[in-house]
Amino acid sequence: MARTTFSGPVASDNGFIGGTATDPISVTTATNISSFYATSSATTGDTRLNYSRLDITSTGSGETIRAFTRVTGANAATGGTVNGAHISLSVNSGGTISGAGNALRVTLGAAAGVSTGGTVAALQVDSDLNATASVPGTASFIRVTNTNTTKITNLLNLPTPASGQVLAAVVGSPTQTHTIKCVDSAGTAYYIMVSTTA
C-alpha cells in the first residue's frame, strides 16, 4: 500500500502531537492525516472506535474534543464542503436498527441532587463574526437539507405534549407577539409565529 509522506513535527510525550500551530503537518495531496478502520461483530455492548474522557477537577475549563477548521485560501470548497466536523450514521444494505440511531447525539446530564449552575444547554449554536465580516442572506444558525431522493418530512421529533413542557397544549387564546425568521435555500424569508404567553 502506498504511503503518504508528511512534513512537520510528529512527537509523543504522554500523548500524541502531530504538528503545532507554528509548525503544522504539511499536506500537498488530499488525504486522511489520521485514520482508524475497524469492524465489530460483538452482539452486545458498545464498541467505540475512539473513546476520550476528560475530568475537570478544579476551576479550569476545556473540551474533550475541540475541532477547528480554518479557511485561509480563496474559493475553498469548490465542488465540495468545508466543515468544522462532519458526523454521519449510515445504514447500509443488509443493516437495520432495532434501537435508536443518531448521526449526532448530544446529552446534557447531571447527577442526582446536583444543581449545575451556569448557563447550560444540550446544544449551543454560536456565531463569531468580525465587525467587518459579511455573510450571505442565506446564512443561518441551523441549516436543514434533504440531500437524496427520499425526503424526511418532519423538522422535529418532540416529547409527548404535557403542561409546562417543550410541547404543550395552548392555554386560552394567546396572541402572537413575535416571529422567528427562517430562510429557504433560495433566500426567501419565512416567519414562525410565537407568543410570550402559553
Quote the domain boundaries for residue 192: 136-147+158-198
Q: Is the pLDDT of residue 5 over 70?
A: no
Residue 185 lies in a domain: yes
pLDDT score, position 67: 93
pLDDT tens string 131-152: 999 999 999 999 999 999 999 9
Q: Is the pLDDT of residue 3 over 60?
A: no
Distance CA(169)–CA(194), nearest Å, equals: 14
Total tally of structural domains belonging to the chain: 1
Residue 7 lies in a domain: no
Distance CA(172)–CA(166), nearest Å, equals: 18
Residue 128 lies in a domain: no
pLDDT tens string 155-179: 999 999 999 899 999 988 999 999 9
pTM, entire model = 0.79
Q: What is the dihedral of CA 58, 63, 65, 70, to 10 degrees?
A: -140
pLDDT tens string 74-117: 999 999 999 999 999 999 999 999 999 999 999 999 999 999 99
Residue with grid cell 475530568, as numbered in its chain: 55
How many CB atoms lie under 10 A from the CB of residue 174?
Answer: 12
Residue 8 lies in a domain: no
Distance CA(186)–CA(90), nearest Å, equals: 28
Residue with grid cell 477547528, as numbered in its chain: 68
Residue 184 lies in a domain: yes
- Amino acid, single-letter form, for residue 114: V
pLDDT tens string 55-80: 999 999 999 999 999 999 999 999 99
Residue 180 lies in a domain: yes
Is residue 125 within 8 A of residue 140, CB to CB? The reply is no
DSSP summary character for residue 191: E
Residue 2 lies in a domain: no
Q: Is the pLDDT of residue 189 over 50?
A: yes
DSSP assignment string, 102-121: -S--------TT----S---
C-alpha closest to that of 59 among 122, 118, 128: 118
Residue 179 lies in a domain: yes
| CA angle (105 as vertex; 160, 39 as ends), nearest 5 | 130
